[in-house]
Chain A
């Protein structure tokens, strides 16, 4: 079978699986079978990844469990093209966000099939943000896909807009600006129509929004049944500390109760996302993220990459079937504790205290990975 049709075959299998939703019946054995099929495809179609796997002594002939599929560090996306198609043939190339100086390298995720991304993202969004599966008003502080064609997050908000947005109002500029006046108008309009709102933004955008609301002395009353999606709040320590404060202020300014503010954890390098299941399970689920069944998570010892016991913090690695067109096994720089009920994300892997006065090069140049 030539690679093109092998991929088509694989994506149709996966799309059918994802379509059954986050309740999909996918036992360990079936996941492993699919994962090995995905690995075999990636090994065959991605020469760079194949070379890497051979170097590590792992090929489809030797690997019997998905855990042993070589994991690619997210940093590599900055330096190497990791796709099962020519980058120019990818339907989309999503780029990691950078610092304002813009001098550093960005990770690039070449995605051969946006439909597969959509197929993974939508059921998860439905389960955690739109369980009633009815039209709502999307107020997005995240730039639209037209404005930010290389943002995987914008693409995802585009999926939301197509599926549920009646209307969808794009309020975030690529420079991080927020059109406060348009936001107020759209919120009043939604209230008049009694249309629940999904207000979506990054933690950074919400902090900015709250600052501007405070300065203007106003609030943003959202209709009954509204919800908020916040993302990117787990990158870096200071933000984690400020989370309770941020959510409290959001509740106070928008009237959306704490239990309807949902954190999304995602990254450009992964086409599936994790959510705090607060809408499904109540506010007690805050602080815990759950993956869809087609995304497996492990916490690893950063020195040996051996799994740590359940509930113990470790370096997070993901195996994402939705990444079939690029690389599925991804090693992050984030720390979390994995349990059967999900993952508690702690933030970026760091020592207890910085240990040296020598400096890693990327730090000198101000590089930073950001939310997708």
Chain B
């Protein structure tokens, strides 16, 4: 898994590529935890092939972090396969998640 970080205004965009599984999820957690200045976070999942429940956990953790400070949070470019996992856990009902 690779994470690319870009900044647009005061919003951080993290592009996640590959597999977000038990092994790689902590990396995303570390990355989002370090974002203390940003007012918003966009997770770009354009090139994400797979998300495990440990990955969902990091997405939720980032969502909570930004919501607690009235920041913005969204997940974009989500593939059908990854969207199925979000839907199964019900995340699509409350989080701002957009399909590819």
Genuine A/B complex: no
List the interface of chain B (C-beta within 8 A of A). Answer: none
